[in-house]
């Protein structure tokens, strides 16, 4: 927020989210209450799911946009298909699962570093 431009107007849902987030961080920092890693909170979980879905959708589109990426054409006219659309989509789903796990680890890593004061 740039205070030189005057007060920022926030809607009620933004204020409620901010208050809940502030309370959560207070609980984590002071080791009070039932807290969980930030990547397990519903809102963060939804955001990570959206990023994972976007990754998967983009990767699946590759097959439709350029099926030539999944085959090799030889000078004698022979075509070797490396992956069918169904097989590619299966691979993308597996990659998406691993991608989501890595995102969770990354969020947890930065949460811990932040709480340890690595950015102060």
Split at pLDDT 50, 70, 90, the class of 75 is very high
Q: Is the pLDDT of residue 68 over 70?
A: yes
pLDDT at 44: 82
Instruction: Give domain limits for the chain.
Output: 36-115
pLDDT at 103: 92
Partner residues linked to 80 by β-bridges:
72
83 vs 42, residue with greater confidence: 83
- For the whole model, what pTM was predicted? 0.61
113 vs 22, residue with greater confidence: 113
Q: Is the pLDDT of residue 88 over 70?
A: yes
Q: Please tell me the number of Cα atoms within 13 Å of 84 on its side-chain side.
A: 2
Cα–Cα distance measured from residue 82 to residue 54, given in angstroms and rounded to the nearest whole number: 24
Split at pLDDT 50, 70, 90, the class of 57 is very high
């Amino acid at each position: 927020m740039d205070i030189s431009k005057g007060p920022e107007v926030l809607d009620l849902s933004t204020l409620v989210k901010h208050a809940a987030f502030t309370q959560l961080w207070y609980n984590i920092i002071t080791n009070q209450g039932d807290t969980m890693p930030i990547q397990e909170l519903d809102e963060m979980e939804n955001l990570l799911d959206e990023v994972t879905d976007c990754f998967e959708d983009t990767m699946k589109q590759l097959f439709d946009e350029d099926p030539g990426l999944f085959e090799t054409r030889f000078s004698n006219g022979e075509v070797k298909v490396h992956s069918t659309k169904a097989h590619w989509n299966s691979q993308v789903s597996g990659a998406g699962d691993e991608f989501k796990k890595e995102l969770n680890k990354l969020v947890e890593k930065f949460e811990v570093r932040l709480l340890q004061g690595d950015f102060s």
